Amino acid sequence: MSKQNIVVKVLCIALFFIGARSGTAQNPVSSVEQTIALWQTVSGLSTASVCMAVNDYRTGEVLIKSEPQQSLVPASILKLVTTATALEVLGPDFRFQTTLAASGVIKQDTLFGDLQIIGGGDPTLGSSYFPENNHFMDDWIREIQNKNIRVIKGNLVLDATIYESQMIPDTWIWEDIGNYYGAGASGISVYDNLYEIHLSSAKEAGVPTQMGKISPEIPGLDLQNETLSSDINSDQAYVFGSPMDSHRVIRGTIPKNKSDFVVKASMPDPSALLASEFRKKLLKNGIQITGTNKFKKAKSLEAPWTVLSVNQSPVLRDIIKVTNHESVNLFAEHFLKQLAFKSSGLGTTREGCKFIVDFWKGKGLDMTGFFMNDGSGLSRFNAMTAIQMTNILNYMKTKSNYASDFYESLAGAGEGTLTVLNEENFPNQCLRAKSGSMTRVRCFAGYLTTDSQRRLSYCFMLNNFSCTQATAIRKIEEVLVEMRKL
């Protein structure tokens, strides 16, 4: 492209922004706009769709925005909408609960009835993100022993009916749903609804790998290993399989010359895994259970009924902080279904999405062009505008009773999902944000305190670029650095 063509193109693209200010190039707003306009001269960004907005959230002034506002795929910054709604509706001190109960009569050392695990949608049960919640089965055993129960003449019942039986949203793609980040939300979730596949690889590339242990051991799992060793020093292996289906295929590559390389995958049936693990625990502690595993709604709270233990999750503010810092899809999907349960009595993805859209409409936001198909942003059917995101960010900062909880849930540069940003460019934690990415998508949304102590909310969404993710990140970071001068 000639220099003359570049100048013409940049001038045309500058009209894209209605927030332009008159004045010289030293005008900070104009400088930011020009930096963004120059994206279109970068190879790999010239065909991308761009939607952005920058607000002063204290005054409500829109400083910069792309026009027209396009509905683009937000990827994981959609979690900000889900977590904001969960905070507003459920409250920061909300806790999920899982109940262990005995249905029947206890005589001497025998329970004549069922042992029931009643799920309350807790995504942290046995979670690696919350080690303090990993000893729940020890608590259950202790409470059973406190009742002097040594024999259970009945079944082990697992009730996950607080949520719909379909664990994953309709619009998640085949490549995602078998992998750890594609784990679905269930009324009973355990160990982050994932398992580990241990593989070893040869010293040469292109050689079939060997499969070792599966942890935890998944009952009935049929795993077909087709992975190869590779010169690429990263995990390029993908697990394919449907929820509730025990057959899985793992394809792709792992680095060569590895004695124990771990690939994480989504669990087919969390309730079945919990039943298996708890039976082992019962047997190890000398407690016999004569019946089988039943996956159904627990018996009603009618006598005889004994609550043995109620396990509580950490408070919601702590779960949301992990969700936004580490971009945990599973947690976000649980929030979505819990909102649906609170609204309708059954946790479904569809009802949760509808609830969230209606909630923000009720706050006076224009949700035209906002399309929500899951809670985490993994669906490519999601779409929103940058102004919609900044409006929600503004609300959470200026009107929410839980503003500090929401703000603290966001990562600073160099941490969490923002490890891709240079911490030195954003001193004194002046930047707090959530990032979102998938193939040909890169987004950032959050808050920025400028050098002059101006308080901004912002959202940048890039879709369908052909450059590398690293290039897209670098260009957005350049704009964020320029925004510090506003």
Cβ pair 404, 421 in contact under 8 A? no
Indicate the DSSP class of residue 77. Answer: G
CATH code for the domain defined by 3-92+318-483: 3.40.710.10
Q: Count CB atoms within 10 A of the CB of residue 401.
A: 10
pLDDT in tens, 24-52: 445 778 888 888 888 878 888 888 999 99
> What is the Cα–Cα distance from 308 to 228, expressed in whole angstroms?
48
Band the pLDDT of 301: cuts 50, 70, 90: low
> What is the Cα–Cα distance from 210 to 85, expressed in whole angstroms?
45
Average pLDDT over residues 84-106: 96
Task: For residue 132, give both structure tokens.
Answer: 């303090």
CATH topology of domain 95-314: D-tyrosyl-trna(Tyr) Deacylase; Chain: A; (3.50.80)
pTM comes to 0.92
Band the pLDDT of 18: cuts 50, 70, 90: very low
pLDDT in tens, 124-143: 999 999 998 899 999 999 99
Dihedral (C-alpha) 461, 465, 470, 474: value to the nearest 10 degrees?
A: -50
> What is the Cα–Cα distance from 417 to 55, expressed in whole angstroms?
23
Strands (E), 267-400: 288-289, 293-295, 305-312
Residue with the two structure tokens 């503004």: 394
CA atoms within 13 A on the CB side of 416: 22
Angle value at C-alpha 151, between 145 and 153, nearest 5 degrees: 130
> What is the Cα–Cα distance from 465 to 46, expressed in whole angstroms?
8
Domain boundaries, the chain: 3-92+318-483, 95-314
pLDDT in tens, 109-123: 999 999 999 999 999
pLDDT in tens, 374-432: 999 999 999 999 999 999 999 999 999 999 999 999 999 999 999 999 999 999 999 99
Residue with the two structure tokens 């040469």: 204
Q: Check residue 87 and give its pLDDT.
A: 98
